[in-house]
Amino acid sequence: MHIIHIQSTDSTNRQLKQLSDEQPLPEGTVLVACEQTSGRGQAGNTWEAEAGKNLTFSMLLYPTFLSPKQHFLLSEAVALALTEALSTGVIAGLSIKWPNDIYVGERKIAGILIENDWQDNHIQRSIVGIGLNVNQEIFRSDAPNPVSIKQITGQDTDLDALLNEISNHIYKVYEQLKQYCADEGDRKGSDEGDRKGRPFYAQNLYHGNGFFDYEDKNGRFRAQIQSVSDDGLLHLETDQGERRSYAFKEVKQIPACTPVETHIKTNIHENKKVSGRMAQNWYSSHH
């Protein structure tokens, strides 16, 4: 794994994209910054990260095997890999908040931003940006629910070791995704991506089981998640039996009112049994 360390940048995604424009870089190249001054999340949201306390990094991939209707498979694979890496002896109670935030209980520990370059109806280059709260203890932004590994475990985490663990997990699951697409092709004319969603992603979604509160442009309603399709659409069924589909930012999940203490209690053994098999079986779960 080729890892580039820099002291400071406004955005690791922007910096890695610039480097890739200037010179050929191998797939899997990682750029990590000690300080990121203008980190971005989905839909232009900002990401707070105290310098030297967290992981802010981006990975370069060339997923030319993905068609437009399959683009969300990359986001899904990265989210599963990140969740597995964090669960192996570090944190329990992890879930993926659609589309790709990582939560511990009701609190956000990591965010993912993937930026794709398209050519001839396929992705030519993807920059996968990840912000992970690691050793930061005080959050000063107006983000409503951040949490860090140190707040959960009470201990400092070696940033370089954690970066290597996460990067290796992501690339392993990415290779599984590549093999899956090679075997299945584009699945032309099928709706396989809409059948039930990928089991290990769907089973580990935040609020993935049961009815919860949501809000769209018409107001609040209760619904349960049915699936997430290959193009990233969230498919819900309301408590009235109505089926609805949403793109990102078209619907908001309303957090449950649960005491903060319950979010940071860990049960590492149980979490490893569930999450530890997710990315390992990503490819086989599609068959």
Q: What is the pLDDT of residue 39?
A: 62
The two three-digit tokens of residue 245, written as one number: 């589909």
Query: Is the per-residue pLDDT at 169 higher than 70?
Result: yes
Order the strands of the 234-238 sheet from edge to edge: 243-246, 234-238, 219-228, 212-216, 252-253
Cis check: omega of the bond before 99, within 30 degrees of 0:
yes
Spatial separation of the C-alpha atoms in residues 116 and 138, rounded to whole Å: 33
Taking the C-alpha atoms of residue 280 and residue 287, their distance in angstroms, rounded to an integer, is: 14
Model confidence band, residue 116 (pLDDT cutoffs 50, 70, 90): very high
pLDDT at 196 over 50: no
Q: Which of 149, 172, 171 is nearest to 53 (CA)?
A: 149
| Identity of residue 30 | V
Q: Among 25-34, 145-154, 261-270, whose mean pLDDT is lowest?
A: 261-270
Domains observed in the chain: 1-287 (3.30.930.10)
Instruction: Give the pLDDT mean for 74-85.
Output: 94
CA distance linking residue 127 with residue 144, whole number of Å:
27
SS3 (DSSP) at 95: strand
DSSP letter (8 states) at residue 205: B
Q: Is the Cβ–Cβ distance between 169 and 161 less than 8 Å?
A: no
279 in helix, strand or coil?
helix
pLDDT tens column, 20-30: 999 999 999 99
Instruction: Please tell me the predicted confidence (pLDDT) of residue 198.
Output: 59
| Whether the Cβ atoms of residue 40 and residue 84 lie closer than 8 Å to each other | no
Encode pLDDT of 84-113 as tens digits.
Answer: 999 876 688 899 999 989 999 999 999 999
Calpha distance 48→71 (Å, rounded): 27
Question: Over the stretch 208-256, which tens digit does the pLDDT of each residue have?
Answer: 999 999 999 999 999 999 999 988 999 999 999 999 999 989 999 987 7
* Distance (Å, whole) CA 283 – CA 173: 8
Averaged pLDDT score across all residues of the chain? 83
Q: Please give the backbone phi and psi of residue 76, each rounded to the nearest 5 degrees, phi first.
A: -60, -45
Order of strands across the sheet with 101-104? 3-9, 30-36, 55-61, 122-132, 107-119, 101-104, 94-97
- Under a CB-based contact definition with an 8 Å cutoff, are residues 25 and 60 in contact? yes
C-alpha–C-alpha distance, residues 68 and 167, integer Å:
25
Mean pLDDT along residues 185-196: 45
Q: Say which residue, 163 or 48, is predicted with more confidence.
A: 163
Query: Has residue 204 got a pLDDT over 60?
Result: yes
Confidence at residue 234, expressed as pLDDT on a 0 to 100 scale: 95
User: What kind and span of H or E run contains 237?
Assistant: strand 234-238
The predicted pLDDT at position 88 comes to 77
Instruction: Provide the pLDDT for residue 274.
Output: 40
